[in-house]
Amino acid sequence: MKFSSILSEELRKKHGKRAVRVREGDVVKILRGEFKGIEGKVTKVDASTGTVNIEGVTREKVAGGTAPVPVRASNIFITTLNLDDKIRKSGLGGE
């Protein structure tokens, strides 16, 4: 399953793209749902379900403790890109 998220306005202008695939290390902001408005770093990407786990987005478990809540990639937008990967950097126009 392919999935991507939209970029913030300044990233759109800088890279000339509207959307890119989400990767671990990207900083995103949630647009819809229970956690709307929360911003955090992506800790896990699940390509089979099209969801991502974000730092600080957790739910209390009945038995105690917390569990990460998966958020659909279509319900977030990317505010900061992780450009550690040379291939990704060149695909975005490279600097």
- 2-36 confidence digits (pLDDT tens): 678 999 999 999 999 999 999 999 999 999 999 99
Summarize pLDDT for 55-67 with one digit per residue, the tens: 999 999 999 999 9
Burial class (CB in 10 A: 0-12, 13-18, 19+), 82: middle
Please tell me the pTM assigned to this model.
0.86
Does pLDDT of 1 surpass 70? no
Q: What is the pLDDT at residue 93?
A: 73
* Class of CATH domain 5-84: mainly beta
Please, what sign has the CA dihedral across residues 51, 47, 25, 65?
A: positive
